[in-house]
Amino acid sequence: MQYTQRPDLYDLLHPEDFMAGEREFYLALAREAGGPVLELAYGTGRVGLHLARNGIEVVGLDLSAAMLGRARQVLAEEPPEVSRRVTLVEASMAHFDLGRRFGLVYVPFRAFLHLRTQEEQRACLRRVAAHLADGGRFAGNFFQPDPLLLPRYTAVRVDGATETPDGGRLVQSHWCPRSDLVEQFKHIRMRLERFDATGRLVESGLHDLELTWIYGREWRLLLEVEGFELERLEGGFLGQSVDEGNEYVWVARRRGPSPGPGSHA
Ligand SMILES: C[S@@+](CC[C@H](N)C(=O)[O-])C[C@H]1O[C@@H](n2cnc3c(N)ncnc32)[C@H](O)[C@@H]1O
């Protein structure tokens, strides 16, 4: 099963402040954009909801009906002035046309790596360019590829346990049954085991995650080819240099005027 089929478990494993400084980083950019922003791969709203709670209008686009269903439930529990600020759209970030432009388009938490081929990645960059207001920014983050984690590995790695609200635990382990070092693509299989407060196993399942990886200079080139220029490339959300951190956090701008949302060049 794809991990997106269980947004409830996703939320248990990824609390709102999962990456230090992440939500504040996107909020600061959204404030500078000064208008509605577009989040690609919105998921259940971990980042976008923080922006909406801080007065930003957010369009949240995601491919998964299940993740968006959970996002709707989460929004329903917010005060109306917050939930009103979020509009959800079910679509692929490689193929969307919202008919409007934004001062900021952002794709947090490595979601760009879900685009498997370079064609899809480039299609996404073109859709982003078409949806950016003149001078608008495109920001996001994904991990710096760790050479030790790229090849296939069948030995199970235990990632640790997360406490659940009922006093139980969710234990996560994973392995990588397939990796393509030329196409830069890997399949990760996670086992999630949920125990109740008495230590009894109540659920065990396999969850699949498929993703690519992108090197720093490859990313710079991809952006450049699609008409963007990098404004910032950092190693994390706390201002680390690329050498100090293990994430790529970037902010880019489009060169020249936006082609506009209806253009499919
Ligand atoms: C790691 S989650 C990130 C969710 C959220 N932004 C966060 O920070 O918690 C990745 C999300 O990307 C979505 N996704 C995968 N492929 C996509 C695509 N082609 N277009 C739009 N969303 C996609 C998944 O459904 C999932 O919700």
Q: What is the pLDDT along the chain (265 residues), one digit of tens a residue?
A: 999 999 999 999 998 888 999 999 999 999 999 989 999 999 999 999 999 999 999 999 999 999 999 999 999 999 999 999 999 999 999 999 999 999 999 999 999 999 999 999 999 999 999 999 999 999 999 999 999 889 999 999 999 999 999 999 999 999 999 999 999 999 999 999 999 999 999 999 999 999 999 999 999 999 999 999 999 999 999 999 999 999 999 999 998 877 777 776 5
Mutate to test the pocket of ligand 1, among 62, 96, 120 (most ligand atoms within 8 A of CB): 62
Cβ neighbour number for residue 62 with a 10 Å cutoff: 25
Atom of ligand 1 nearest to the CA of 61: 21
Domain coordinates in residue numbering, the chain? 3-144+214-254, 147-212
Which residue bears the tokens 């994390």? 236
Q: Which CATH number fits domain 3-144+214-254: 3.40.50.300, 3.40.50.150, 3.40.50.2000, 3.40.50.970?
A: 3.40.50.150
Question: Which alpha helices (DSSP H) does 54-102 contain, by range?
Answer: 65-76, 80-83
CATH of 147-212, picked from 2.40.128, 2.20.25, 3.30.1490, 1.10.1660, is 2.20.25
Torsion-angle region of 34 (φ positive above 0: left; ψ -120 to 50: alpha; else: beta)? left
189 within 8 A of 210, measured Cβ to Cβ: no
* CA 108 / ligand 1 centre spacing (Å): 9
Residue whose CA is at the smallest distance from ligand 1 atom 25: 64
Q: What is this structure's pTM? A: 0.96
What H or E segment, with its residue span, contains residue 179?
A: strand 169-180
Q: Distance (Å, rounded) from C-alpha 52 to C-alpha 59?
A: 10
